[in-house]
Chain A
Amino acid sequence: MAAENKNARVIVVGGGLAGLAACVRLAEQGVSVDCFSIVPVKRSHSVCAQGGINATNEIARQQGFSEWMHMDETLFGGDFLADQPPVYEMTHWAPRIIDLLDRMGVPFNRTPEGQRDLRLFGGSLFKRTHFSGATTGQQLMYALDEQVRRYEAEGKVAKYESWEFLWPITRGEGAERRCVGIVAQDLRTMQIRAFPAEAVIMATGGCGLIFGKSTNSVMCTGGAAARCYQAGAWYANGEMIQVHPTAIPGADKCRLMSESARGEGGRVWVPAKKGDTRDPRQIPENERYYLLEERYPKYGNLVPRDIASREIFSVCVDDHMGVDGRNQVYLDLSFKDRDELDRKLGGILEIYEKFAGEDPHDVPMKIFPAVHYTMGGLWTTFTPQERPADPRQDLNCGRDTVTGMKFGAANTMMTNITGLYAFGECNFAYHGATRLGANALLSCIFDGLFSGQGVVNYVRTEAEPVENVHQSLYDEAVQQEHFKTQRLIETAEAGHNDPATNPYQIALEMGDEMTAACTVVKTGPRMEQAMTRLRELQDRYQNVRLADGGMWTNQNLSFTRALGDMLILAEAILQGSINREESRGSHYRPDFPDRDDQRFHKTTIAKFNAKTGRPDFDYRDVVTGLVKLRPRDYGKTSSEPKKSKEPATV
């Protein structure tokens, strides 16, 4: 190819863990970076992560576990929907990622001897979760934010905070199509501008807000990914949405009670007798129904999230055994030592106390499942690499060679549009049909550090320098966005008192409908009904009215624009769910209760059809070769409370 491009620039959209890790890798390799974020990067959604980050460690190794086992648990947890080589690579890089974060100064909890402490997490039988109190995401974010600030001070990274990504700029058609920059808008001045770059990395996180109230931050609309999807990037496994079993429902969001609460011994229960309204502290042990422990003796409270959510949901909704007759169950830590709780879980217990008004040191918390994580996302590819199995890392793998990803390959986590990448929660690559707890932070940072190297190589040697791109391409892209903005702004003149055309009302209805039809339990007829409703909402959106027609810090505009994109992505999620006539991981269809590998051991790919405005679907075989598929039941026994536990009187 051409000579090395020393002036290459990369745009990173998103300053969460994935985006910041990418900035660090690119800047370290001497590539100039422009980082865009709706909020100051330090306030990105990743700060919400509580529980921890997974990596095999020396103790686990001596107990017979290894990276291979971490990989196996991840694939098994994801019900084998993830391509296997990326999961292999991620889990095998995990220990060195922890070491690097440790060098960056992350205050990981320590054992009395000063080693990094570990905790147990869902879907695992060995301790492999590193943590920093109960604010691990915040601590990791700050460490990366600090490194990026250092590069910023050296002039290697430029931050565009309070800027919103609007559209990817591409040139060429079909397989020749390349991403050469983005259009973005300053959310304060409302200026719209084109930014050229040799490559663009989307690191814009998940789309929880499509479901209304979730555990996500307010920026997690999925709007940015939805724009790439409409521009022709494929969206994969959209139907795989994780519902976390333990959240506190609130008026504005559902606040998470991390899985680490159960990792540290927290127990989920309901009164064994329906309608028992006694103070939980007055209910004796033998009159409590520890639903997860009884139904899953092997994993107990640490079954994967989809299973825990389903069981809690069924105990409340089907069996009407929820606490106080409401949709809630107890998550109990009150029997644990106060000081230890503070050291290990202080951050989340504070959240509970603050928002629920009760002290979880003393009384069990009341929780219910909530939408939490987007396993699906922009479709991305990779270059597989075969190599000899490593006796330490691949302990007991029973094979001579393994397949991971090639470090530095230019297509690593590239979408179907050359030069457009997706990292972190906004891609589909690592978690299959369910994400295991503490694997998301890992996948985000792994993408930044590992996949980031591929981008470095791409812009240096393969990408065409943007100087060669005609300015008119950028001008047209800006023009296009001006036009869309203007269209919305003009609606403000028509007045805004009708709920039918009120963007917030439409968003509310979309969230309610998607949550009711497309989360814990999905059935064909209910989803078809939701599709009809969604189409109505899309129609109503055509006449949406803004309440603010100004061009200064117009948040109304930004919200309404994202709503339009959410309505389109919601359709891909819903249609993907309707099409997948099986149950797999988080995708549970009582009308198709079994996993159907024959028909559906496949990646769903939604391609936006610009003519119909709807998704076309394509299915691709999952890349396997490392682990054989096996049933995923986590040793379930019965789903009946033991009759003997029913108290005689209440």
Chain B
Amino acid sequence: MTTATDTRTRTIKIKIKRCDGPGKPAYWQTFSVPVKRGEGANVISCLQYIAANPITDGGVATTPVAWKSGCLEEVCGACTMVINGKVRQSCSCLMDSACPNEGDTLTLEPMRKFPVIRDLFVDRTRLFESLKRVKAWVPIDNLWEQGAGPKETPDEQQTRYKLSECMSCGCCMDACPQFHQIADSAKWQTAFIGAAPISQVRYFNLHKTGATLKADRLSEMASQGGVSDCGNAQNCVKHCPKSIPLTESIAAVGRATTIHAIKQFFTGK
């Protein structure tokens, strides 16, 4: 629907690293996509265009590109991918700023630390498994009526709220030099857990009922793949779309883990 005279429309190029499935080789394809200025076009709307018109720049008909999305407003974490070399959400990547001019190119790749299922769609099961590893829940007794939970001050709430905004997108892990891709799920348990679950340890230990599992969480943090594997590169915090204070969390959990280890040493528990 584009015409050469429509000055509000420009054609940009989307270069995508594709892969037909696990164990298959990766290959690149480029697509030309018409984009209108001022209409809020983003990577998702471009991928939707490609899904409807799966023809490469060279005019070859191909399969639509696989990717994941959900909320389209940067709260679900589904659409995370590597855009122009940087891991981030694709729904909040707007074309008017990313590709302002005719002929600009945008490069899309799947996340690097999680196994590719197809194209830009990766398997982040490990991330959710790591939440089990640190018992990321408040162990309530039951669902019956028992009155309110523990009271907290607005400051305490604000601290917890910030940590609770983590949407398990995995950007902090993808950007972390200590976090490596591991296909074999049996090895996840002892591999470096990554920044987000460490921050969740802090989050749950800050809650009065959540803290009843504090010792278990800190033991996990003291074990192989725990907080001491963090090399303090601080890439995580730079890549977190929710501005979660990850280095603060890592420091807090690091200190708590040390104290916990000393206590354990002296009490033998």
B268 CB–A CB distance under 8 Å: no
Chain B CB within 10 A, most for which of A25, A43, A110, A217 = A43
B69 at the interface (CB under 8 A from A): yes
Can you spell out 26 A-B residue pairs with CB atoms less than 8 angstroms apart? Answer: A39-B70, A40-B128, A42-B128, A43-B70, A47-B71, A99-B147, A100-B145, A102-B148, A103-B148, A103-B149, A107-B161, A110-B153, A143-B138, A153-B132, A153-B135, A188-B123, A217-B71, A250-B45, A252-B72, A255-B73, A496-B54, A502-B52, A547-B61, A555-B51, A556-B51, A556-B63
Contacts of A44 in B (CB 8 A): 70, 76
Query: Assuming the A-B contacts A47-B167, A99-B148, are A105 and B204 also in contact, with contact meaning beta carbons closer than 8 angstroms in the complex?
Result: yes
Contact of A109 among B74, B78, B157 (CB under 8 A): B157
Q: Do A114 and B76 have beta carbons less than 8 Å apart?
A: no
Instruction: Known A99-B147, A139-B164; judge A251-B41 contact (CB<8 A).
Output: yes
Interface size for B (C-beta < 8 A) is: 72
- Residues of B contacting A47 in the complex (Cβ-Cβ under 8 angstroms): 70-71, 75-76, 167
**Which residues 156-177 of A sit at the B interface, judged by CB distance below 8 A?**
none
Is B118 on the interface with A (CB-CB < 8 A)? yes
Counting CB contacts under 8 A, is B137 at the interface? Answer: yes
Q: How far is B92's CA from A255's CA once the two chains are assembled, in angstroms?
A: 11
- A138-B165 contact in complex given A111-B154, A149-B136, C-beta closer than 8 Å: yes
Total inter-chain residue pairs, C-beta < 8 Å:
202
A335: B residues at CB distance < 8 A: none
Tell me which of B54, B97, B168 contacts A547 (CB under 8 A): B54
Could you tell me the distance between the alpha carbons of A107 and B204 in the complex, rounded to whole angstroms? 11
Whole-angstrom CA separation of A383 from B154 in the bound complex: 42
Bound-state Cα–Cα, A96 to B76, Å: 28
Nearest-neighbour CB distance to chain B for A259, whole angstroms, equals 16
A468 sits at the interface (CB 8 A): no
| A486-523 vs B, Cβ < 8 Å mask (1 yes, 0 no) | 00000000011100001011000000000000000000
Using A47-B71, A504-B51, A552-B118 as known contacts, say yes or no to A105 and B149 having CB atoms under 8 A apart.
Answer: yes
Q: Is the CB of A253 within 8 A of B72?
A: yes
**Complex contact B63–A550 (CB within 8 A):** yes
Does any Cβ of B come within 8 Å of A645's Cβ? no
Per-residue CB contact flags for chain A residues 253-267 toward chain B (1 = under 8 Å, else 0) read: 101100000000000
A398 to B139, CA, bound (A): 42
Q: Is the CB of B148 within 8 A of A252?
A: no
Q: Across the interface, do A149 and B73 meet the contact criterion of CB distance under 8 Å? A: no
Q: How large is the interface on A (under 10, 10 to 19, 20 to 34, 35 or more residues)?
A: 35 or more
> Cβ of A218: which chain B residues have Cβ within 8 Å of it?
69-70, 72
Q: Decide: A149 and B66 in contact? CB cutoff 8 A.
A: no
Alpha-carbon distance A239/B156, docked complex (angstroms): 45
The 6 closest A-B pairs by CB, nearest first: A504-B52, A102-B149, A146-B137, A250-B40, A553-B118, A251-B45
The yes or no answer to A284 lying at the interface (CB within 8 A) is: no
Which chain B residues (105-156) contact chain A, with CB distance < 8 Å? 117-118, 121, 123-124, 128, 131-132, 135-140, 142-143, 145-149, 151-154, 156
| With A355-B94, A504-B48 as contacts: A548 and B137 at CB distance below 8 Å | no
Q: Chain A residues with Cβ under 8 A from B140's Cβ?
A: 100, 103-104, 147
Assess the B209–A105 pair: CB atoms within 8 A: yes
CA separation between A552 and B66, bound complex, in Å? 10
Q: Which residues of A contact B245 (CB under 8 A)?
A: none
Which of A351, A357, A502 has a CB less than 8 Å from the CB of B73? A351
Q: Is the CB–CB distance between A252 and B51 below 8 Å?
A: no
